[in-house]
Chain A
Amino acid sequence: MQQTLYDRLWVNHVVHTEEDGTALLYIDRHLVHEVTSPQAFEGLKLSGRKVWRISSIVATADHNTPTRDWEQGIADPVSRLQVETLDANIHEVGALAYFPFRDARQGIVHVIGPEQGATLPGMTVVCGDSHTSTHGAFACLAHGIGTSEVEHVLATQCLLQKKSKCMLVRVAGQTGKGVSAKDIALAIIGKIGTAGGTGYAIEFGGSAIRALSMEGRMTLCNMAIEAGARAGMVAVDQTTIDYLQGRPFAPRGELWDRAVAYWRTLRSDDGARFDAVVDLDAGSLQPQVTWGTSPEMVATIAGAVPAPEDFADPVTSEGVARALQYMGLAPRTPIKQISIDKVFIGSCTNSRIEDLRAAAAIARGRQVADNVKLALVVPGSGLVKRQAESEGLDKIFKAAGFEWREPGCSMCLAMNDDRLEPGERCASTSNRNFEGRQGAGGRTHLVSPEMAAAAAIAGHFADVRDLI
């Protein structure tokens, strides 16, 4: 029988199945960060259990770490304790690799896994973070998990899972200039809704996906969780293999050849059956901007904010009214007339080298508008930062009036000092525009890196296609 990529990955990892179909899935890679792991390590210790396979662990500190004045350490004592707790836990338990605060390779957990070649095709990858779906770009089965599950994986190397249904999201055709993977992701979520993928694993396919770089595929899979799907994935092709060659933890020599031969089988069979198929035409896509407090509340740059009365369903209509009130927007405001206070270019969605290049291309030779109080660029990892600096991107950003910071999650979730003040409006390349996500009372609009740069220059949302 023809298998989907998801079927294939699933079957390859089932250790045992309970009568009701709950499976024990073997976990190849366990990514660990400071926020969701302390209680898991503590639980393990309290129950006198040991870590099953230390070499599956790759750890880093990212959520809490500051993005400047690194030499001064972490000022906030609560954050510092959490990062120190991770240091102590990894010191005690061990890991394949640990990139602590201030290490040259430290960064956002979902950026460093692929960058180090610690994420390899065919793996099951878990992390106590919902955006673990990112790693699906490498034809991995990658799940975000809760802290109890972190402990479960530490102790047993397995995860208890029920098989999801499988959805194919097929994006055919060619995207126009200025339309990025982020726009594809937001358009998909706008189409199927934030719960549209609930209960599904999503495979992204079609010519527009094949044309994406690995960075673009990661952006897309990263946002699968925002469509409600726990996992997103893309089949292996030459792009995948080229990206991995020579990465520190990727296999070498004869093992590399064996691995590549296997990786090439990681795709859905022709004629494989999906439980749902969604089609999107890449050619008709335009740059996207969210206007509300859920990623599905999205419009094109040429569009406008809706009005509550546009929606017949009372729950939706009320949700729209509440979102507009929170966002401080009048119904029917054209997107281009929304002015902004801050800009954030970063997060595991859009902080890789390609994202920074795209934003820098727009910022080059231009100036951040006067009404923009802060425009932040936060690279996804220390290595991304150095690469960008070697290409002179930092100089372009700084000359245009952006701040160039140290890597980390930063204003994606505002656990450190980078945040919005109440009422401030931000063009952000992150993945969530929930109430308070970037700081209590803050207003987030999700966009691509090039659209964030365009907004920084204009002081309001602007069509990046007018700047290229």
Chain B
Amino acid sequence: MQQFTQFDGLVAPLDRANVDTDAIIPKQFLKSIKRSGFGPNLFDEWRYLDVGQPGRDNSQRPLNPDFVLNQARFRGAQILLTRDNFGCGSSREHAPWALEDYGFRAIVGSTFADIFFNNCFKNGLLPIKLPAAEIDALFALVTEQTGYRLRIDLAAQTVARPDGRTIGFDVDPFRKYCLLNGFDDIGLTLRHADKIGDFEARRRIEQPWLFS
């Protein structure tokens, strides 16, 4: 997994609550057996005027000029600013894969759906929860100022605004440690292989019906 250090990125605002995983990546793209290549179909139904199909050349499709990511000023955005309950819906990891493949490295919102939140960390994408008042202020700033950027520092757990204001955020120490070091969860877990083995052996004796 990619290591996450501090970075400075352009912010794109997606001013909606309850953005669900079907909106992030529609189901027809879930037929892929690969992990990559989902970026061009991120937010497919909002981004294009026609209906997308896997395997189509997306560069030939009509763009929806009203969709925020299609506006020239947000091209190359690495930080997505959003509202409550982002990523609700299915467990599809294709959602963080698509966001990451598109170029996003952090999602800043007020709340996130649990499974999506969890999936982000497995893919080097940082979901950042900020108080609703901070989110409101950021939406106003991003709308007013073209080229609005934020500096995100995971080690310090801060989001720094260009005007010098710094906002702290919480992150689980274990997740932070994995992300900062680019560690693979499985490798870390397997350090406890003996413990898992012992636990399993005990369980076989206590609840043998689970091991038929």
Which residues does A use to contact B, with CB under 8 Å?
15-16, 18-20, 22, 24, 26, 28, 35-36, 38-39, 42-43, 47, 49, 52-53, 55, 63-64, 76, 78-79, 81-82, 85, 120, 122-123, 128-130, 132, 144-149, 151-152, 155-158, 160, 162, 194-195, 198-199, 228-230, 249-251, 255-256, 258-259, 262, 294, 315-316, 319, 322, 413-415, 422, 432, 434-437, 440-441
Contacts and interface: CB of A to CB of B under 8 A. Distances in A.
User: Which residue, of A120, A149, A256, has the highest number of chain B Cβ atoms within 10 A?
Assistant: A149
A434 B118 contact: no
A415 B27 contact: yes
Given A20-B173, A81-B33, A162-B172, A156 B210 contact: no
Contact of A16 (B96, B113, B195): B195
Contacts of A130: 89-91, 115
Nearest to A79: B31
A129 B91 contact: yes
Contacts of B91: 36, 128-130, 132, 144-146
A358 B39 CA distance: 43
A322 B14 CA distance: 14
Interface of B: 16-18, 20, 22-23, 26-28, 30-35, 45, 51, 54-55, 83-85, 88-93, 96, 111-115, 118-119, 122-123, 172-175, 184-186, 189-190, 192-193, 195-196, 199-200, 203, 207-212
Contact of B190 (A123, A149, A155, A415): A155
A255 B208 contact: yes
A155 B188 CA distance: 12
Given A149-B118, A198-B113, A440 B51 contact: yes
A229 B88 CA distance: 10
A49 B173 contact: no
A148 B190 contact: no
B186 A123 contact: no
Contacts of A294: 18, 20, 88
16 contacts: A15-B195, A24-B196, A26-B203, A35-B92, A43-B35, A47-B186, A78-B31, A128-B91, A130-B90, A145-B91, A146-B91, A158-B196, A255-B208, A413-B22, A415-B30, A434-B20
B17 A315 contact: yes
Given A130-B91, A250-B209, 14 more contacts: A15-B195, A26-B196, A26-B199, A35-B92, A43-B35, A128-B91, A146-B119, A146-B122, A152-B185, A158-B196, A228-B113, A251-B209, A319-B17, A432-B90
A194 B118 CA distance: 18
B116 to A, nearest CB: 8
A226 B150 CA distance: 32
B118 A146 contact: yes
Given A130-B90, A195-B84, A151 B192 contact: no
A195 B85 contact: yes
Q: Kindly list the 9 A-B residue pairs having the minimum CB-CB distance in the complex, ordered from nearest.
A: A148-B122, A251-B209, A146-B119, A146-B93, A38-B33, A20-B173, A147-B93, A144-B91, A195-B85
B191 to A, nearest CB: 9
Interface of A is mostly: loop
B35 A49 contact: no
A13 B112 CA distance: 26
A305 B196 CA distance: 53
Contacts of A156: 186, 189-190, 193, 196
Nearest to B18: A294
Contact of B192 (A16, A38, A250): A16
Contacts of B200: 26, 53, 157
